[in-house]
């Protein structure tokens, strides 16, 4: 069998109807080194770091309102934590070392996470240490919270998108925080995987309706996906419902997610490219949608219904307190004084934050009183993109460059284009010390991070 036959054989099996592989409560995640074939047969394996032996880690799939209980065992020779990106959970479960918990000690440390899942949607988990190393070595996985009554689809599929800097022997480049990458776009790798493997194709059946959940787990790469010959409908962003709308290109900064309804309306046995054209000079084919020869499952598709809203409090814009937050620095910008801030390239309101071990030493960027509505004006005063992420809360994107977005939109991460601004609004209804940072992990580690305190 050549590689293509092999992939097709595997894909045919996955055409079985969606049946939720739900992780039983009380399971555990073991963090440990592993070996994995990223480029597929005929290429060397890569030494990775994994949850339960594979990249991505196990898909955790629960239902809205359920409680996630999971013990994390650390089999690495390095400390770690697990952050549950996008989940509105108690601060002590947020997984930020030294800020919300002690690190899970190297060589045998253990931490039991346990929290309720108030919101349905597509979330993910990853370590939250100061250096991007652990994510760049493969530590991440999907956390799917199903609606109480999920929309009818033929398959519910997750694509964890990630990006690797590999050498010719498929070994991971161990310079995780080069000054060059950190002061520019971050570490954009040379190998892109979908669910931990470079894919040639993804098998679909004509007439099939797929819910496709995209998660950008890369440390720095921004994706801009175009589904040639198809018109996917966006139904959720960062887990939260948005009015269903077609998207010619789905743009996801690091940390961001989108849920699509992909109606497979093309001809049996046809093939269609999925292109990532975010970086226009280096567009490439992510994979091909490969249609089975079988006759279509259906001839016409029902309209896509909106998902039920999550119970997120609406900010009171008239009463909101307002703050302006300026992100600065980076190449072609005013880099912090290297005598005072060694290795720091970025600032938040003029100050770099060294890394998370420093949090206790820094006053919070904002001190918000519990249940206050807040509007933050985020100003990107740099020549680079920054996906800005707030922990513990879900915010509404009010404006971009002064204009409201085309439809109401809730998120936990907002992608700021170079020299642009956005206003976000939320109710500070979750007490604790929360990270607020750029999700280009090399930017986060070199100054673009802060703490927002709610009490």
387 CB neighbour count, 10 Å cutoff: 22
DSSP labels for 316-370? Answer: -TTT-EEEEEEEEESTTS----TTTSTT--EEETTB-B--GGGGGGSPPSEEE-T
- Selection from Cu ion, ligand C2O, none that 329 binds (CB < 5 to 8 A by kind) is none
Q: Which of residues 376-395 bind Cu ion (CB under 5 A)?
A: 386
**Residue 443 binds to ligand C2O (criterion: CB under 6 A):** no
The smaller minimum CB distance to ligand C2O, of residues 115 and 301, is found at 115
Burial environment of residue 116 by CB neighbours within 10 A (0 to 12, 13 to 18, 19 or more): middle
- Selection from Cu ion, ligand C2O, none that 128 binds (CB < 5 to 8 A by kind) is ligand C2O
The smaller minimum CB distance to Cu ion, of residues 182 and 287, is found at 182
The smaller minimum CB distance to Cu ion, of residues 211 and 400, is found at 400
**Residue 257 binds to ligand C2O (criterion: CB under 6 A):** no
Considering only CA atoms, which of 163, 150, 164, 162 is closest in space to residue 259? 150
Q: Residue with structure tokens 């001190």?
A: 367
**Residue 440 binds to Cu ion (criterion: CB under 5 A):** yes
**Residue 58 binds to ligand C2O (criterion: CB under 6 A):** no
Half-sphere CA count of 416, side-chain side, radius 13 A: 28
Q: Exposed e or buried b for every residue in 347-369, given b needs 16+ CB within 10 A?
A: bbeebbbbbbeebeeeebbbebe
Q: Could you give the 3-state DSSP secondary structure of residue 214? A: strand
Q: Write the interaction track for ligand C2O spanning residues 16-55; mark x where CB under 6 A is met and - where it is not.
A: ----------------------------------------
The smaller minimum CB distance to Cu ion, of residues 134 and 413, is found at 413
**Residue 85 binds to ligand C2O (criterion: CB under 6 A):** yes
What number of chain residues touch Cu ion (CB under 5 A)?
Answer: 5
Instruction: Output the smallest distance, CB 133 to ligand C2O, in A.
Output: 15
**Residue 389 binds to ligand C2O (criterion: CB under 6 A):** yes
For the chain, the first-to-last Cα distance in angstroms comes to 61
Q: How is residue 405 written in tokens?
A: 């977005």
Instruction: Output the smallest distance, CB 254 to ligand C2O, in A.
Output: 8
The smaller minimum CB distance to Cu ion, of residues 88 and 184, is found at 184
**Residue 205 binds to Cu ion (criterion: CB under 5 A):** no
Question: Could you tell me the CA-to-CA distances from 275 to 1, 196, 236, 272, 282 in Å, in that order?
Answer: 27, 18, 21, 9, 11
Q: Write the interaction track for ligand C2O spanning residues 155-174; mark x where CB under 6 A is met and - where it is not.
A: --------------------
Instruction: Output the smallest distance, CB 453 to ligand C2O, in A.
Output: 15
241 CB neighbour count, 10 Å cutoff: 21
Q: How is residue 332 written in tokens?
A: 């072609």
Binding-site member from 218, 435, 438, 448 for ligand C2O (CB under 6 A): 435
Task: Supply φ then ψ for residue 13, to 5 degrees.
Answer: -60, -40
Binding-site member from 211, 359, 391, 396 for ligand C2O (CB under 6 A): 391
DSSP labels for 217-267? Answer: --SSPPEEEEETT---EEEEETTEEEEEEE-SSEEE-TT-EEEEEEE--S-
**Residue 443 binds to Cu ion (criterion: CB under 5 A):** yes
CB 95 within 8 A of CB 81: yes
**Residue 88 binds to ligand C2O (criterion: CB under 6 A):** no
Instruction: Output the smallest distance, CB 187 to Cu ion, in A.
Output: 12
Instruction: Output the smallest distance, CB 389 to Cu ion, in A.
Output: 10
Strand duo 83-85 + 67-74: pairing = unpaired
In the complex, the residues that contact ligand C2O under the rule CB under 6 A are 83, 85, 126, 128, 255, 389, 391, 435, 437, 439
In the complex, the residues that contact Cu ion under the rule CB under 5 A are 386, 438, 440, 443, 448
């Amino acid at each position: 069998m050549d590689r293509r036959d092999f992939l097709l054989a595997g894909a045919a099996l996955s055409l079985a109807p969606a049946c939720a592989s739900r992780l039983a409560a009380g399971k555990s995640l073991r963090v440990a080194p592993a070996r994995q074939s990223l480029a597929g047969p005929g290429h060397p394996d890569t030494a990775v770091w994994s949850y339960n032996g594979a990249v991505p880690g196990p898909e955790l799939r629960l239902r809205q309102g359920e409680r996630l209980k999971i013990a994390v065992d650390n089999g690495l020779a390095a400390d770690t934590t697990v952050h549950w990106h996008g989940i509105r959970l108690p601060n002590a479960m947020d997984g930020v070392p030294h800020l919300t918990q002690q690190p899970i000690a190297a060589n045998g440390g253990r931490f039991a996470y346990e929290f309720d899942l108030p919101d349905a949607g597509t979330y993910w988990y990853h370590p939250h240490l100061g250096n991007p190393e652990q994510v760049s070595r493969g530590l991440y996985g999907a956390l799917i919270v199903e609606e109480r009554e999920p929309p009818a689809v033929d398959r519910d599929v997750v694509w964890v998108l990630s990006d690797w800097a590999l050498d010719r022997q498929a070994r991971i480049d161990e310079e995780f925080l080069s000054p060059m990458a950190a002061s520019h776009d971050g570490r954009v790798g040379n190998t892109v995987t979908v669910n931990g493997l470079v894919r040639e194709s993804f098998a679909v059946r004509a007439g099939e309706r797929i819910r496709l959940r995209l998660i950008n787990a890369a440390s720095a790469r921004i994706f801009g996906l175009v589904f040639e010959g198809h018109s996917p409908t966006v139904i959720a962003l960062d887990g939260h419902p948005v009015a269903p709308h077609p998207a010619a290109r789905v743009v996801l900064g690091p940390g961001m997610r989108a849920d699509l309804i992909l109606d497979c309306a093309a001809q049996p046995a046809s093939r269609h490219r999925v292109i990532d054209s975010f970086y226009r000079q280096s567009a490439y084919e992510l994979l091909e949608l490969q249609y089975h020869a079988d006759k279509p499952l259906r001839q016409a598709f029902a309209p896509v219904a909106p998902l039920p809203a999550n119970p997120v409090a609406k900010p009171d814009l008239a009463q909101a307190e307002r703050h302006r937050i300026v992100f600065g620095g980076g190449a072609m910008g005013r880099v912090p004084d290297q005598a005072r801030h060694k290795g720091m390239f970025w600032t938040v309101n003029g100050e770099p934050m060294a890394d998370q071990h420093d949090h206790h030493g820094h006053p919070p960027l904002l001190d918000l009183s519990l249940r206050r509505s807040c509007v933050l004006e985020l100003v990107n005063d740099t020549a680079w993109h920054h996906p800005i992420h707030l922990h513990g809360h879900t915010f509404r994107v009010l404006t971009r460059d002064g204009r409201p977005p085309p439809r109401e939109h809730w998120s936990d991460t907002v992608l700021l284009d170079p020299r642009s601004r956005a206003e976000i609004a939320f109710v500070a209804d979750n007490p604790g010390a929360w990270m607020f940072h750029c999700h280009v992990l090399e930017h986060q580690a070199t100054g673009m991070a802060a703490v927002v305190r709610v009490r």
